[in-house]
Structure 1
Amino acid sequence: MEKSKPSRPPGNDGAQLNPRTTHREFFGFPGSVAVMTITTIVLYVWNFSCSEATGCQLPVTGSQWAAIAAHAADYRSYLSLEALAYYVLWWSWLAMLYFVIPGRTVQGVTLRNGQRLDYPINGLSSFLVTLCTAAMVHSKFGIAPFLWIADHFFQLAAASYIFATTQAMFVYLRSFRRPSSGAQPVMLALAGNSGNPVYDFFIGRELNPRIGTLDLKYFNELRPGIMGWVLLNVSFAIKQQHTLGYISNSMWLAIVPQICYCVDTLLFESKVLTTMDITTDGFGWMLSFGDLTWVPVMYSLQARYLAFHPVHHSTISTVLIAVMGLVSFLVFRLSNSEKNAFRTNPNDPSLSHLRFIKTESGSKLLISGWWGLARHINYTGDWMYGLAQCLATGFDTPMTYFFSAYFLVLLLHRNYRDECKCREKYKKDWDRYCEQVPYMFIPYVI
């Protein structure tokens, strides 16, 4: 599996290939420090505010905050070499599967230097092999390993945080390496070459850091965190079964859609190669931490909460939440599939009913079908799908709705970046498109 090696474009020196960053995301240095600080605090608060004794209580009093601070200061209780060793083993196991599991190879988008990198599409196969391995572990050792995962949740979270930060520092320092004689300069992300070390470390300096053929950004995007999320959910369900003797309907309502979401992500693994994370963003602390720590730790909160605070829904509530989740998922998946099919082959006879406008850049913008309803209809389905999972936890605490609130902010920010990028790319054609599709998320509403 070798990356393609086109001839080097004339005059493609480091300054031309990697211009100095002029626009800084997240307000530059102060914003990057704020994001790293706040997300770390959130991890601690959401962990130490939830327990089997108290449920999940949003801290509002001085004594509650003092208790969180005391727990955080007692680092010996959650910094564990054993947990770190297990996490390194987990990451290494998936990295090994990245190389050995057979699968087709696809090329990513054309980069600024004219190069297209090769990527193995074997994430789903790696997940299935890991699932079978977990079943073998259960067959040999019973539920003990999974109970250990549930009971040592924050130790594993801290281990992933340490690993993610170390990885981010590694790729940041490595981005300064000098290319061998005659080789192209290291290609940096356009947003990650500001010269401010803190900001560049946060946002990601190198666009596609690789160790041999292991593309670190692509690998981390879909594997350790996404599959770790599934493993945590399963462990918390086993924990509930062990404690109560059954798995509640609320637990099923929370984890089944989340597992389906993870499988769907892996099933359409090649689609991530055209997302902004891969094509535009560098690989720094933001993505390393987000992929390895934030996603599995914060997104599994519903299952963790229900493991020690089961909610029992009526039949009507169960059906309504399940239908909401199913419809939202269909909106998300069908809209994305329609867009991807049109991008792949707009002349496909099955898409002949779709209307579009042509732009001066040569692109075609859909103005009918799912994409005639709203410019980001997939975001609407994505968010509603997450909200359904939060509703499974009931209304005893707002903390289990953090997933939905955070996801809303994330999608709104992504929508802003998408709109700015499209307005810059399509210019007057984007105004014409917005006249045809005036709504961003919900038809006739917004």
Structure 2
Amino acid sequence: MATKVNGDGLRQRTASSQSNGKVVAPSEEGKKIDQKLDQHLEYEFGGPAGVIAIMTGFPILMYYLWICLVFYDGQLVFPKSSDDIVPFFGRMWEHVRVDASPNLYAWKVYGGLIIYQLFLAWWVPGYMQEGLPVPSLGYKTLMYKCNAIGCIYITWVTAAVLHYTGIFRLTEIIDNFGHLMTVAMIVGFGVTIGMYFLTVTFGNPIRMSGNFIYDVFMGACLNPRLGPIDLKMWLEVRIPWVLVFFMSVSGACKQYETYGYVTPNMAFMCLATWLYLNACIKGEECIPQTWDMFHEKWGFLVIFWNFAGVPFSYIYSVVYMASHDPSHYKFSTPTYVVLYATLLTAYYIWDTSMSQKSRFKMQTQGIFTYRKTFPQLPWNVVNNPRFVQTAHGNRLLVDGWWRYSRKPNYVADWTMSLTWGLCIGAASPIPYFYSVFFIVVLIHRCGRDFERCAVKYGKDWEKYCSIVKYKFIPGIY
């Protein structure tokens, strides 16, 4: 493969190597390291006790924040005295029992979405994308059917027809938030446990710790498939971000029916959620190149979060706006300009940095084909990128956005999450949960990634860190 070495010791691909590349297999030493990393080495997330706390505590927290948002004017509430503790929890439970019951209507709506998205994923033609070599499969590469863009556009048309014919009004989504959330939680737990036992009984469980609850949380399978559908990639996009977008649209419809107009704040959330969903579907071929597909197993951590966590805890600003008078969060025109500009700038950096990294991996494998899906932004592919060639056999990108920090996509992603709270100002603290929780997740995930890279690449990782000095924000951290 043709390369040239710059004066700084970095390798840079020539144009000919990009069009005629081939898979870069790891060295024998690299394979030994991969084998070690593909085993259970130590507990994460606080081990069994920590994952039990997460699996029980997070659903409770989701209910609590929703109750505060809808029934207590968006403010955090607590027992007023020691004598109020039992009545307080009684009131909380009554809201869950009555206003978040898993009723038949919620099962029809949520279950209908799952079935429809599975049907479309199976039936709609798609672009076939080769993934990264998987160590646990002997460095075999899997093929992924990328048809999300067709499926989601069909879903949008279907939703519009159902809404305007009165068969299913989109306002009903936000009106049944609590009921849908409970159903989503049940599905999340059910699929998690079901997939664990199916994999242990009939599949090929990997990186198992031997502790039941911890292995349920982390998952047993890596690449679950249903016919042509990769379930892990399907779930990452087709349920959570579709729901997040339609909840925003539902909130906008609710405002329009109530006030006769849609506020700039609600329009902001419709734009923000559309940008995120559309980025996932128009660049779906980049997803197989990510850590989620390559390494993360399909357990509670991923399953519950995508079925329930993302759609029902990231969208609190929409829930607040749909149930409160717009006077609570009205901004000046310059404030709206800054808010929208911040979102669009962060989105551009996030979209293009993710694209640069994934397509660099495709270039390295020699499987890169440019898809003209809307909107492909300027600088989403780095031509003749500079990289660090590791002894392991992999290449570390140090060009494009990735020359400025090791995680530019995380910084941009978190900035977008912050704007999802800022769009209602100081009206309620609850919509800021997304950004607060997300920064904790990103820092933790970054630590996991950097530790793994240090083991995997050794001195080459030290060289990479000496070139790309900052973890997140250039010049700061």
> Shift in Å at residue 264 of structure 1?
0.5
CA distance 1:133–1:373, shift in 2 (3 Å): same
> Shift in Å at residue 302 of structure 1?
1.2
The AA in structure 2 aligned to 1:307 is A
The AA in structure 1 aligned to 2:431 is T
1:244 paired residue number: 259
> For 1:27-426, what aligned pairs fall within 5 Å after superposition?
27-51=46-70, 54-62=72-80, 66-67=87-88, 69-73=90-94, 75-79=97-101, 80-111=103-134, 112-114=136-138, 115-141=140-166, 145-178=169-202, 186-190=203-207, 193-309=208-324, 310=326, 311-345=329-363, 351=382, 354-426=385-457
Q: Aligned partners of 2:240 and 2:85: how far apart in 1?
A: 30
CA distance 1:228–1:344, shift in 2 (3 Å): same
Q: Secondary structure at the match of 2:149?
A: helix
Q: Secondary structure at the match of 1:50?
A: helix
CA contact 1:374–1:441 (8 Å) conserved in 2: yes
Q: Aligned partners of 2:360 and 2:314: how far apart in 1?
A: 31
CA contact 2:170–2:250 (8 Å) conserved in 1: yes
Q: Aligned partners of 1:90 and 1:290: how far apart in 2?
A: 17
Q: Aligned partners of 1:307 and 1:385: how far apart in 2?
A: 21
Residue 42 (structure 2) pairs with residue 23 (structure 1): yes
CA RMSD, Structure 1 to Structure 2 (Å) = 2.4
1:13 paired residue number: none
Deviations 1:210-246 (A, max 9, x none): 3333332222111112111111111111111111221
> Shift in Å at residue 64 of structure 1?
8.8
Deviations 1:135-178 (A, max 9, x none): 11122117x62222221111011011111111111101101224
Range that drifts further, 62-71 or 236-245: 62-71
Q: Aligned partners of 1:438 and 1:69: how far apart in 2?
A: 52
CA distance 1:33–1:69, shift in 2 (3 Å): farther
1:7 paired residue number: none
Greater RCO (CA < 8 Å, at least 6 residues apart): 2
Residue 476 (structure 2) pairs with residue 445 (structure 1): yes
Q: Aligned partners of 1:204 and 1:317: how far apart in 2?
A: 44
> Shift in Å at residue 66 of structure 1?
4.7
Deviations 1:162-207 (A, max 9, x none): 11111111101101224xxxxxxx33232xx112111111111111
> Shift in Å at residue 353 of structure 1?
6.3
2:376 paired residue number: none
Q: Aligned partners of 1:37 and 1:444: how far apart in 2?
A: 40
Q: Secondary structure at the match of 1:345?
A: helix
Deviations 1:243-288 (A, max 9, x none): 1221111111223112211111111112221222222122112211
Tell me the TM-score normalised to structure 2 length: 0.82
Q: Aligned partners of 2:109 and 2:359: how far apart in 1?
A: 40
The AA in structure 2 aligned to 1:420 is E
CA contact 2:232–2:293 (8 Å) conserved in 1: yes
The AA in structure 1 aligned to 2:141 is R
Q: Secondary structure at the match of 2:392?
A: coil
Q: Secondary structure at the match of 1:26?
A: coil
CA contact 1:18–1:187 (8 Å) conserved in 2: no
> Shift in Å at residue 71 of structure 1?
3.2
CA distance 1:315–1:207, shift in 2 (3 Å): same
Structure 2 spans left out of the alignment, 5+ residues: 1-34, 369-380
Q: Secondary structure at the match of 2:137?
A: coil
> Shift in Å at residue 352 of structure 1?
5.3
The AA in structure 2 aligned to 1:49 is C
CA contact 1:48–1:68 (8 Å) conserved in 2: no
CA contact 1:44–1:68 (8 Å) conserved in 2: no
CA contact 1:222–1:266 (8 Å) conserved in 2: yes
Deviations 1:388-418 (A, max 9, x none): 2211111122111111111111111111111
CA contact 2:223–2:232 (8 Å) conserved in 1: yes
CA contact 1:18–1:188 (8 Å) conserved in 2: no
Q: Aligned partners of 2:268 and 2:77: how far apart in 1?
A: 27
Q: Aligned partners of 1:67 and 1:145: how far apart in 2?
A: 35
Q: Secondary structure at the match of 1:21?
A: coil
